[in-house]
């Protein structure tokens, strides 16, 4: 259900994003959900914020993903039709902090000030939370940037 909701949001996005990338990310995300790798969410989804970050590296054709809440985090990557879990995170610790705080102003600032000129990585971050018993989803698309706080 969550994966389908993310896909609907991606389709309505005003940001240009390759349709084939969106479809591939949905398939990968569906596999992660179907493989029961997000079991750690059981019991905490109703009272916790869920964050999902996906990244496509156009240079290597590798997809990265992270799903987390305040208790646990799952990382995965997809390349050559192989899905691997507990891979190297695509984000720096500071980028995780900015997304967890949903500090979109500083994400945009860092992207503008420290973005790579030949950027191959496109990130999509989503925040899912309950607001007065209704589920809300926020999304931000951004390009990778140099993070001096994490190097």
Q: pLDDT averaged over the chain?
A: 77
Does residue 115 sit within a domain? yes
CA pair distance 41, 13, nearest whole angstrom: 26
Does residue 21 sit within a domain? yes
Which of 8-17, 25-34, 79-88: highest mean pLDDT? 79-88
Judged against a pLDDT cut of 80, whether residue 44 lies above it is answered with no
pLDDT of residue 45: 57
User: What average pLDDT does the segment 25-37 reach?
Assistant: 75
Judged against a pLDDT cut of 70, whether residue 145 lies above it is answered with yes
- Show the domain range for 44: 2-143
92-144: pLDDT as tens digits: 888 899 999 999 999 999 888 877 656 677 888 999 888 887 888 899 988 88
Does residue 151 sit within a domain? no
**Radius of gyration (Cα) for the chain, nearest Å?**
15
CA pair distance 32, 38, nearest whole angstrom: 7
For the record, the structure tokens of 78 come out as: 């997809």
Least Cα distance to 52 among 62, 64, 35 occurs for 64
What lies within 8 Å, CB to CB, of 66 at 6+ separation is: 51, 52, 53, 73, 74, 75, 76, 89, 90, 91, 96
Got the DSSP string for 61-116?
Answer: TEEEEEEE-SS-EEEEEEETTEEEES---SS-HHHHHHHHTT-HHHHHHHHHHHB-
For the record, the structure tokens of 92 come out as: 């720096």
Does residue 150 sit within a domain? no
Name the pTM for this structure.
0.76
Total domains present in the chain:
1
Does residue 149 sit within a domain? no
Judged against a pLDDT cut of 70, whether residue 4 lies above it is answered with no
């Amino acid at each position: 259900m969550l994966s389908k909701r993310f896909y609907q949001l991606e389709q309505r996005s005003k940001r240009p994003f390759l349709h084939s990338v969106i479809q591939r990310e949905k398939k990968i995300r569906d596999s992660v959900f179907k493989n029961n790798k997000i079991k750690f969410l059981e019991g905490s989804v109703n009272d916790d914020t869920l964050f999902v970050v996906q990244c496509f590296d156009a240079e290597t054709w590798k997809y990265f993903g992270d799903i987390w809440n305040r208790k646990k985090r799952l990382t995965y990557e997809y390349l050559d039709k192989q899905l691997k879990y507990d891979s190297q995170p695509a984000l720096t610790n500071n980028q995780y902090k900015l997304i967890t705080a949903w500090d979109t102003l500083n994400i945009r600032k860092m992207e503008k000030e420290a973005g790579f000129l030949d950027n191959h990585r496109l990130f999509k971050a989503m925040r899912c939370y309950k607001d007065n018993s209704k589920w809300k989803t926020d999304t931000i698309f951004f390009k990778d940037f140099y993070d001096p706080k994490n190097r």
